[in-house]
């Protein structure tokens, strides 16, 4: 079984999709053991609490620097024997020191079809605003491995979503979440969890 930590900063809708997928058996090779938030008021913490998942708040402000915050997160992950890290709306770019330690063991969901509308500065509604400004007819979501380049890691899964003429950034965001993110993130987590647990068994 793969031990999973989910890193969050906000509402935790993707975390909820993962919790639901674990309960329904979509995720069967992994278990969400820990939720780590870099914001003390993140609603995702309540979702963790409501589902009996341990959670911890580790902020850059309390730690004094990005480096110290990452060090504290790494120590917490080690202590909980975490095998796989899922970034679910985690609003902090992780450094190479962190991503290098967990090579092919950190995955992220991005609300566009990478390589479109991704990289530094593309998060939240900004991604959907850019897609609409460009006039694309199809957008979607991408689950990818995380490396030191924002949105630069190898793609695991993608799902396309049609853009309607009357879409706003808000309606498009909702559509991409419901029709793509909440579907492929659990599937990708199961796929990578299975690979990791098979490697663990071999050891």
| Active site positions, annotated | 110
Closest by CA to 117, choosing from 126, 125, 109, 127, is: 127
The two three-digit tokens of residue 109, written as one number: 């969901």
Q: Could you tell me how far CA 152 lies from the centroid of its own chain?
A: 14
Q: What is the DSSP string of 19-32?
A: HHHHHHTS--SEEE
Question: Is 26 within 8 Å of 191 (Cβ atoms)?
Answer: no
Residue 39 DSSP code: S
The residue among 35, 116, 14 whose CA lies nearest residue 77 is 35
Spatial contact of 36 and 55, defined as CB atoms under 8 Å apart: yes
Kindly report each contact of residues 115-123 with a partner whose C-beta sits within 8 Å and lies 24 or more positions away, as own/partner. Answer: 118/142, 118/150, 118/151, 119/149, 119/150, 119/151, 119/152, 120/93, 120/150, 122/150, 122/151, 123/91
């Amino acid at each position: 079984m793969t031990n999973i930590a989910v890193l969050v900063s906000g509402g935790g809708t993707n975390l909820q999709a993962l919790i639901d997928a674990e309960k329904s058996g979509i995720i069967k090779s992994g278990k969400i053991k820990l939720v780590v938030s870099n914001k003390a008021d993140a609603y995702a913490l309540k979702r963790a609490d409501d589902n009996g998942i341990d959670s911890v708040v580790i902020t850059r402000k309390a730690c004094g620097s990005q480096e110290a915050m990452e060090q504290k997160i790494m120590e917490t992950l080690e202590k909980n024997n975490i095998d796989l890290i899922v970034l679910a709306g985690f609003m902090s770019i992780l450094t190479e020191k962190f991503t290098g330690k967990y090579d092919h063991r950190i995955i992220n969901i991005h609300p566009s079809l990478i390589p479109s509308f991704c990289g530094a500065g593309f998060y939240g509604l900004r991604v959907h605003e850019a897609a609409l400004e460009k006039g694309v007819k199809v957008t979607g979501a991408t689950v990818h491995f995380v490396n030191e380049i924002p949105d630069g890691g190898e793609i695991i899964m993608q799902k396309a979503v049609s853009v309607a003429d009357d879409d706003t950034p808000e309606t498009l965001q909702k559509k991409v979440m419901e029709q793509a993110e909440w579907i492929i993130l659990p599937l990708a987590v199961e796929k990578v969890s299975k690979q990791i647990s098979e490697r663990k068994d071999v050891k």
